[in-house]
Amino acid sequence: MGPPEERSDADLIAAHVAGDHDAFGELFGRHRDRLWAVALRTMGNPEDAADGLQDGLIAAYRRAGSFRGEAAVTTWLHRVVVNACLDRLRAAKVRRAEALPDDLDEGTARGSTITSTPDDPADHALDAERRREVLDALATLPAEQRAALVLVDMEGYPVAEVADMLGVAVGTVKSRCSRGRARLAELLGVGDTPGDPDHPQQRNPPTSAPVRSTRPRGPPAD
């Protein structure tokens, strides 16, 4: 007799709602790395990321019965976690340039734009410096723009799926990404790239240019 079939995400949600005490833990374990990477990049430091992730998981645990299957379970989980992180950022009025950590596990990202493993130590040092500059600049963005860029540019999610995660229109995600990229380009002194998040150059930029484009100065905009 072969091993039992792995339960789908939807099956695990349903089992959790039905009273299976192990189902939610299994679901979280399946998506933990990606959720942690998003929380870490959105919050800017491990301590706040841990709090944001915990808030999101508690909310998901309690609200699982409201999941109706209109979106993928992973989309729903990201929506809950990202919104929990954004709630913390808004409550704390975090608008400071706080460096993001260097110890992000790039292997957990779906489409990270900041990946490189050069063999030459000098190249490695340069790559690390560029990555630090990008992450430091990213941390200065308003929370909503940062979340959009993290999900679209660093995690590689389609714009439409990110719109579902954030509960906003597709055009709003594109606007936030465009403004965020314009600001990053200004901070980093790099040239602009096409503003449409679905543009091929936006989805797969060369590693020598670790940022796509960025947002202008001024008040946060949706």
Both 116 and 222 in a single domain?
A: yes
- CA-to-CA distance for 193 and 80, rounded, in angstroms? 31
- CA-to-CA distance for 6 and 24, rounded, in angstroms? 14
Give, as one character, the DSSP assignment of residue 8: P
* 103 within domain boundaries: no
State residue 13's pLDDT score: 94
State residue 16's pLDDT score: 95
* 102 within domain boundaries: no
* 202 within domain boundaries: yes
Both 130 and 220 in a single domain?
A: yes
* 137 within domain boundaries: yes
* 49 within domain boundaries: yes
* 104 within domain boundaries: no
Both 127 and 81 in a single domain?
A: no
State residue 33's pLDDT score: 94
Both 113 and 220 in a single domain?
A: yes
Per-residue pLDDT tens digits of the chain, which is 222 residues long: 445 678 999 999 999 999 999 999 999 999 999 999 999 888 888 999 999 999 999 999 999 998 988 888 999 999 999 999 999 988 875 444 444 444 444 444 444 444 444 455 555 566 667 777 777 788 888 889 999 999 998 888 999 999 988 889 999 999 999 999 999 888 888 754 434 444 433 444 433 333 343 333 344 444
State residue 177's pLDDT score: 94
CATH code (residue 6): 1.10.1740.10
List of residues 6+ apart from 167 with CB closer than 8 A: 79, 83
State residue 126's pLDDT score: 63
Both 119 and 179 in a single domain?
A: yes
- CA-to-CA distance for 204 and 21, rounded, in angstroms? 41
* 46 within domain boundaries: yes
Both 74 and 149 in a single domain?
A: no
Mark which of 94, 124, 158 sits at the end of a domain.
Answer: 94
Both 35 and 88 in a single domain?
A: yes
Alpha carbon 41 to chain centroid, angstroms: 6
Contact 23, 15 (CB under 8 A): yes
Q: What's the per-residue H, E or C state across 59-116? A: HHHHHHHHCCCCCCHHHHHHHHHHHHHHHHHHHHCCCCCCCCCCCCCHHHCCCCCCCC
CA pseudo-torsion sign 145, 195, 129, 33: positive
Contact 137, 187 (CB under 8 A): yes
* 101 within domain boundaries: no
Mark which of 94, 129, 159 sits at the end of a domain.
Answer: 94
Both 129 and 37 in a single domain?
A: no
- Cα end-to-end span (Å), the chain: 55
Q: How many CB atoms neighbour CB 73 within 10 A?
A: 20
Domain count, the chain: 2
Q: What range does the domain containing 214 cover? A: 109-222
